[in-house]
Amino acid sequence: MGAARDRVIDRDGFDRLIALLGELGYRTIGPVVRDGSIMHGEVSGTEDLPAGWHDIQAPGRYRLVHEGDGELFGWAVGPASWKSEFFKPTETLWRASLRDGAVAIDVPPREERPVAIVGARPCELTALDILDRVLAGGAVPDDRYAARRAGALIIAVECGRPAATCFCTSMGTGPGAEDGFDLALTELVGVDHRFYVRVGSTAGGELLERVDSRAAIEADWESRRTVVEGARARMGRTMETDGLAALLARNLEHPRWDDVAERCLSCGNCTLVCPTCFCADVKDVSEVDGTLERTRTWASCFDVDHSYLHGGPVRPTIATRYRQWLTHKLSTWWDQFDTSGCVGCGRCIAWCPVGIDITEEAAAIRGTDGAAAEVEPR
Amino acid sequence: MLADATVHDGDAGQFVPRPYVVVGRREEAADVVTLALEPTEGAMPPFRHGQFNMVTSFGRGEIAVSMSNAPGAPGPMEHSIRRVGAVSEALCAAPVGSLVGIRGPFGTSWGIDDVEDGADVVVLAGGIGLAPLRGAIRDLVARQEEGRGRVFVLAGARSPDQILFHDDLRAWQRHGVHVGISVDVAAPGWKGVVGVVTALLPRAPFEVTRSMALLCGPEIMMRFGGRALVDRGVDPWRIRVSLERNMQCGIGLCGHCQLGPLLVCRDGPIVRYGGLADVLFMERNR
Amino acid sequence: MSGAVRDLLAGHGFLAGFPAEAVDLLAERGEIYTFRPGTLLFREGGKADYVYLITKGHVAIEVHAPALGPIVVETIDAGHVVGLSWAAPPFRYQFDARAMDDVEAVGLDSEGLRASLAQYPVFGFLFLDRLAAVTLERLQATRVRLLDLYGKSDAR
């Protein structure tokens, strides 16, 4: 049985919730259909959400199909992740003007409106938690990121229809939402269309009190459990995580790296869609009139210049760059941040143009642990 | 003509450089210039031996440079910079009175404050690697003069005209410090050692069982040097090396400086050799 | 011991003029290895447990450095020997050796070789005499290369 303060709302209640967020001054972002995908956009009500849309995902494949049902969250994840709301794809860090040997440095003011997220998946909650550690948990935290995160309100929605590319159960990040949310909804479709609501914070509780809801009863809890356990049972993929970090650390010379390099285009799509990738370029740009700008822009370890040191890149081949990405995500992330970097969202699998599957690559190395390519006696 | 700098900042601008003015400059050997810097406002933050700043040449960019003066010593902060790219060239050309930006100090230190009394410290430097060690050597020389333990300075350069901090090396020698200098290739008139810098080790009578070693220079040099020290009997866990990777933020946020399990700006650049750098050095293209 | 190993050794430049019994003795310690182009015969830092007499192809002695490597410091042809680090402490390879094309070599295992050399001192002297000659030649050549006779190089 759920918590005593679990409630149930209907679609009207959900509408009211979203409208309230706008009234409270939040910039409310939710899933919308755009360019044939589930993307993120401003929403003012449930009519903006992807009602009746379902996704079909596979390595290198993503399709949306529309069915007549009114299910709002009958899909897994799209290419967009919530990291772009807190860790901007590009950001001006400061501007300065150089005049007569003097420098005046100006830091742009922070945005005014906090962000409210409607429809964050459980895997994405973990991804944001991981990013909190990376960007705000160190000795020198990114203050702007931390402020945006602190001011945000998150309404999570649990998964009922995992995609074939999902493996959150292997990574311990879903399909149920544990924490990191203000409210967690589970969409229940059947005789009626309602949402099981769990409160995750004081702010979430206060928000919920302002919409019509009823107390959740045993049957509601059972329905929620059915959705979440059903999703768990239908999970599309698995990743064996037992000893995975150490496995990869001792297989840096495995022939699989050359094998995947023959397929990998080093395009960096995986890093773009990954909800935890955080690499960024910090660059100074100057104008003719003496104004300077320092910006921070998303970067990818697949870029050949990413590891540039005087002379050339440290990782000059696709094999070495793919190895960096995979070993960082599944192995050295633990050394650096005491957590895995992967949440099992499967985006990298779907959005890789050649369909490279992170779970398959890890399994292949596990299957031939210790393989080496070099010496061969006749 | 002191320059004027104002910072309008409400945030804790961890990406915002603090303006420092160039109060002195010195052309060293080997395409290296030492800049003496003082903040335009306020005091210099304390730093530890071997740490680095992110130094901004306004209009060009920012690079990581270790401090080459001793922390706590009176006088300006010093950065010895080698001309290898656009930003370093601009910094090397900065005239007295001009402004540079400083963020820092960042990174790990040589850890010489922890050395127990009586222990020998061997410093092995190759080329520009002497610069991040200079502050530490100065304090180790003072430590030797106080009778708390010896320091051995072994420096390698390409050729005699590329030897850095000649005056310091001679001064240390005059203070009774064992100073060994080797060049790969001699020039007419050179009467010193010609050979790899590790060839200076057999001539340095340090007590291996109680020694600590600090290495800085090209990675190949640190690799061979580390092995040579271990072969000689020095405890690999008491050997420290200075790692280098592409650095852009200096504060562990941008991911560029990763080297396997480390973020070099945060977990380095100075790390122990035994059980860490010795393994990392052997991992290719990592 | 296979006849193939013995034949390869008998015709190898490093062992030219060796008495037949000495060649037989070495053949007992030897095995034929093949290396595809680009693969490493051995790595810097590895235990120097083999010395290779190259019978086909070319081997590059290399040093690796981040953003620079691998840098070829010398190339060794068929008829010559690679892996001299087996001969002296610390008995670890100091460089990488990479096959530049299809390489065939007779690998002699260090421990067995050392045992044979100790057991048959006359043969031992012959072998180490050859080794000294090779090492001297390479050292002298390296010194001449250090002179940078041809002026400024644009290779880093």
- The answer to whether the CB of A252 falls within 8 A of the CB of B286 is yes
Neighbours of chain B (3+ CB pairs under 8 A): A, C
Q: CA quadruple C124, C116, C110, A375: dihedral positive or negative?
A: positive
From the CA of C45, how many Å to the nearest CA of chain B? 8
> Quick check: bond before A353 cis, omega within 30?
no
B284-to-A268, A326, C66 alpha-carbon distances in Å: 22, 16, 7
Q: Test C67 with A374 for CB contact under 8 angstroms.
A: no
Cβ contact (<8 Å) for A313 and C67? yes
Q: Which residue is listed with tokens 């299809």?
A: C102
B4 touches chain A (CB under 8 A): yes
Nearest to B285 among A103, A140, A316 (CB): A316
Summarised one tens digit per residue, pLDDT across range B92-140 is 999 999 999 999 999 999 999 989 999 999 999 999 999 999 999 999 9
Q: What is the pLDDT along chain A (378 residues), one digit of tens a residue?
A: 678 889 999 999 999 999 999 999 999 999 999 999 999 999 999 999 999 999 999 999 999 999 988 999 999 999 999 999 999 999 999 999 987 778 899 988 876 789 999 999 999 999 999 999 999 999 899 989 999 999 999 999 999 999 999 999 999 999 999 999 999 999 999 889 999 999 999 999 999 999 999 999 999 999 999 999 999 999 989 999 999 999 999 999 999 999 999 999 999 999 999 999 999 999 999 888 878 999 999 999 999 999 999 889 999 999 999 999 999 999 999 999 999 999 999 999 999 999 999 999 999 999 999 987 554 443
Q: Is A45 exposed, middle or buried (0-12, 13-18, 19+ CB in 10 A)?
A: middle
Could you say which DSSP state residue B70 is in? P
Measured CA to CA, the distance from residue B52 to residue B135 in angstroms comes to 12
Q: Which residues contact A278 (CB under 8 A, 6 or more apart)?
A: A83, A87, A131, A134, A135, B253, B254, B255
Shortest alpha-carbon distance between residue C2 and chain A (Å)? 13
SS3 percent helix, strand, coil of chain A, rounded to 5, is 35, 25, 45
Checking if the pLDDT of C149 tops 90, the result is no
* Cα–Cα distance, B279 to A206 (Å, whole number): 54
Top residue of C39, C42, C47, C64 to mutate, by most chain B CBs within 10 Å, is: C64
Tokens of B131: 């610069």
Which residues of C are less than 8 Å from A314 in CB distance?
66-67
Q: Does B45 touch chain A (CB under 8 A)?
A: no
What's the pLDDT band for B5 if we cut at 50, 70, 90? very low
Q: What is the DSSP letter of A254?
A: -
Q: Give the number of other Cβ atoms within 10 Å of residue C38's Cβ.
A: 12
Nearest to C65 among B185, B218, B282 (CB): B218
The partner residues of C56 in beta bridges, in order of sequence, read C104
Is the Cβ pair A312, C39 closer than 8 Å?
no
Dmax (CA) of chain C: 51
pLDDT of residue A1: 66
A30, A117 in Cβ contact below 8 A? yes
Chain A residue nearest residue B82, CA to CA = A310
- Tell me how far apart the alpha carbons of residues B217 and B81 are, in angstroms, rounded to a whole number: 14
Which residues in chain A have their CB less than 8 angstroms from residue C32's CB? 377-378
Name the DSSP class of A95: E
Of B83, B63, B85, B67, nearest to B75 by C-alpha is: B67
CB B185, CB C148: distance < 8 Å: yes
Whole-prediction pTM? 0.92
Chain C neighbors (3+ CB pairs < 8 Å): A, B
Interacting residues of B35 by C-beta distance below 8 A, sequence separation 6+: B22, B24, B25, B78, B79, B80, B81, B91, B94, B100
Please tell me what DSSP assigns to residue B169. H
Residues of chain C with C-beta less than 8 angstroms from the C-beta of B227: 45, 90, 92
Task: Report the residue of chain C nearest B226, measured CA to CA.
Answer: C45
Largest CA distance in chain A: 78
CA distances from C48 to B159, B185, C87, C92, C130 (A): 32, 29, 9, 5, 19
State the pLDDT at residue B2: 26
Which residues are CB-neighbours of C5 under 8 A, at least 6 positions away? C27, C30, C31, C32, C106
Q: Do C68 and A311 touch (CB under 8 A)?
A: yes
Which 167-226 residues of chain B touch chain C by CB within 8 A? Answer: 184-185, 218-220, 223-224
Per CB-CB distance under 8 Å, the chain B contacts of C45 are 227, 282
Q: Identify the closest residue of chain A to C156 by CA–CA distance.
A: A311
Of the candidates C45, C63, C92, the beta carbon closest to that of B220 is on C63
Residue A374 per-residue DSSP state: S
Task: Find the helix packing angle between C110-119 and C121-146, rounded to 10°.
Answer: 120
What is the model's pLDDT at position C147? 83
pLDDT of residue B11: 52
Residue recorded with tokens 């309404």? A155
Within an 8 Å CB–CB cutoff, is residue B83 touching chain A? no
In this complex, do B219 and C65 lie within 8 Å of one another by their Cβ atoms? yes
Q: How sure is the predictor about B160, in pLDDT bands with cuts at 50, 70 and 90?
A: very high
Locate the chain B residue with the closest alpha carbon to A331: B261
How does strand C30-35 pair with strand C103-109? antiparallel
Nearest chain A residue to C155 by CA distance is A311
- CA pair distance A85, A93, nearest whole angstrom: 16
Strand-pair category, C30-35 with A376-377? antiparallel
Contact A311 C31 (CB under 8 A): no
For C65-99, letters b (16+ CB in 10 Å) and e give: bbbbbbbeeeebebebbbbbbbbeeeebbebbbbb
* Cβ–Cβ < 8 Å for B273, B239: yes
Nearest to A102 among B4, B262, B285 (CB): B4
Report which residue type is found at B245: R
Both tokens assigned to C11: 């015709």
Cβ atoms A248, B261 nearer than 8 A:
no
Inform me whether the C-beta atom of residue A308 falls under 8 Å from chain C C-beta atoms. yes
**pLDDT tens-digit profile of B140-159?**
999 999 999 999 999 999 99
Question: Does any CB of chain C come closer than 8 Å to the CB of residue B6?
Answer: no
Chain B: give the shortest CA distance to residue C65, in Å.
6
B107 in contact with chain A, both atoms CB, cutoff 8 A: no
Contact A377 C31 (CB under 8 A): yes
| Cβ within 8 Å, pair C65-B220 | yes
A57, A350 contact by CB (below 8 A): yes
pLDDT score at C60: 96
Complex ipTM value: 0.93
Compare CB distances from B84 to A98, A102, A310 and report the shortest one's residue. A310
Amino acid residing at A366: R
CB environment B221-248: b (16+ within 10 A), e (fewer)? bbbbbbbbbbebebbbebbbbbbbbbbb
**Which SS3 state, helix, strand or coil, does residue B102 take?**
strand
Q: Which sign, positive or negative, has the C-alpha torsion A345, A350, A351, A354? A: positive
**Chain A nearest CA to C122, separation (Å):** 31
- Contact yes or no for C40 and A374 at CB 8 A: yes
pLDDT band at B7 (very low <50, low <70, confident <90, very high): very low
> Is residue B241 within 8 Å of B212, Cβ to Cβ?
no
Q: Please name the member of A309, A375, A378 whose beta carbon is closest to the beta carbon of C67.
A: A309
Please state, in angstroms and rounded to a whole number, the distance separating the CA atoms of residues C22 and C24.
5
CA separation for the pair B51, B133 (Å, rounded): 10
